[in-house]
Chain A
Amino acid sequence: MIQVKHLHKSFGEVQVLRDISTTFEQGKTNLIIGSSGSGKTVFLKCLLGLFSPEQGEIFYGTQSFSAMDKNQRKELREHIGMVFQGGALFDSMTVEENIMFPLRMYSNQSQGQMRDRVNTVLDRVNLNGVNKKFPSEISGGMQKRVSIARAIVNNPRYLFCDEPNSGLDPKTSMVIDNLIQEITAEYNMTTIINTHDMNSVMEIGQNIVFLQNGSVAWEGNADNIFNASEQSVIDFVYSSNLFKKIRTIQQQTHR
Chain B
Amino acid sequence: MKYFSEIGTYFLMLGQVFRRPTKSSVMRELIFKEIEELILNSLGIVIFISFFVGGVVAIQTALNINNPLIPEMLVGYATRQSVILEFAPTFISIIMAGKIGSFITSSIGSMRVTEQIDALEVMGINSLNYLVFPKIIALLLYPFIIGLAMFLGIFGGWFASVYGGFTSSAAFIEGIQSDFIVFHLTYSFIKTLVFAFILATVPSFQGYYMKGGALEVGKASTYSFVWTSVIIILANYVITTLLLS
Residues of chain A touching chain B, judged by Cβ–Cβ distance below 8 Å, are 48, 50, 70, 73-74, 76-78, 80, 82, 84-86, 88-91, 101-102, 104-105, 160
- Check B118 against A105 for contact (C-beta < 8 Å): no
- Check A84 against B118 for contact (C-beta < 8 Å): yes
Q: Which residues of A contact B121 (CB under 8 A)?
A: 50
Q: Which residues of A contact B119 (CB under 8 A)?
A: 82, 84, 88, 90
Knowing A88-B115, A88-B116, A91-B116, say if A82 contacts B23 (CB, 8 Å): no
Indicate whether B26 reaches chain A with its CB closer than 8 angstroms: yes
Q: Which residues of A contact B115 (CB under 8 A)?
A: 84-86, 88
Nearest chain A residue, comparing its CB with the CB of B37: A92
Tell me the bound Cα distance from A78 to B23 in angstroms: 14
Tell me the bound Cα distance from A84 to B114 in angstroms: 9
Q: How does the 8 Å CB contact mask read for B23-40 relative to A, with 1 for contact and 0 for none?
A: 101100000000000000
Tell me the bound Cα distance from A76 to B115 in angstroms: 20
User: What number of residue pairs across chains A and B have CB atoms under 8 A from each other?
Assistant: 49
Extra 18 A-B pairs, beta carbons < 8 Å, given A86-B115, A104-B23: A48-B122, A50-B118, A50-B121, A50-B122, A74-B124, A77-B123, A78-B124, A80-B123, A82-B119, A88-B115, A88-B119, A90-B119, A91-B110, A101-B123, A102-B123, A104-B26, A105-B22, A105-B23
CB contacts under 8 Å to A, within B138-191, are: none
17 contacts between A and B (CB under 8 A): A48-B122, A50-B121, A74-B124, A76-B124, A77-B122, A80-B123, A80-B124, A82-B119, A82-B123, A85-B115, A86-B115, A88-B116, A90-B119, A91-B111, A91-B114, A105-B26, A160-B122
Q: How large is the interface on B (under 10, 10 to 19, 20 to 34, 35 or more residues)?
A: 10 to 19
Contact with B123, one of A86, A89, A105 (Cβ below 8 angstroms): A105
Q: By CB atoms of chain A within 10 A, which of B22, B111, B115 has the most? A: B115
CB A166 to nearest CB in B, in angstroms, measures 12
Indicate whether B233 reaches chain A with its CB closer than 8 angstroms: no
CB A165 to nearest CB in B, in angstroms, measures 16
Indicate whether B226 reaches chain A with its CB closer than 8 angstroms: no
Q: Which residues of B contact A78 (CB under 8 A)?
A: 124
- Check B122 against A105 for contact (C-beta < 8 Å): no
Tell me the bound Cα distance from A5 to B26 in angstroms: 38
- Check A90 against B116 for contact (C-beta < 8 Å): yes
Nearest chain B residue, comparing its CB with the CB of A48: B122
Indicate whether B56 reaches chain A with its CB closer than 8 angstroms: no
- Check A104 against B25 for contact (C-beta < 8 Å): yes
- Check B124 against A73 for contact (C-beta < 8 Å): yes
- Check B124 against A77 for contact (C-beta < 8 Å): yes
Q: Which residues of A contact B239 (CB under 8 A)?
A: none
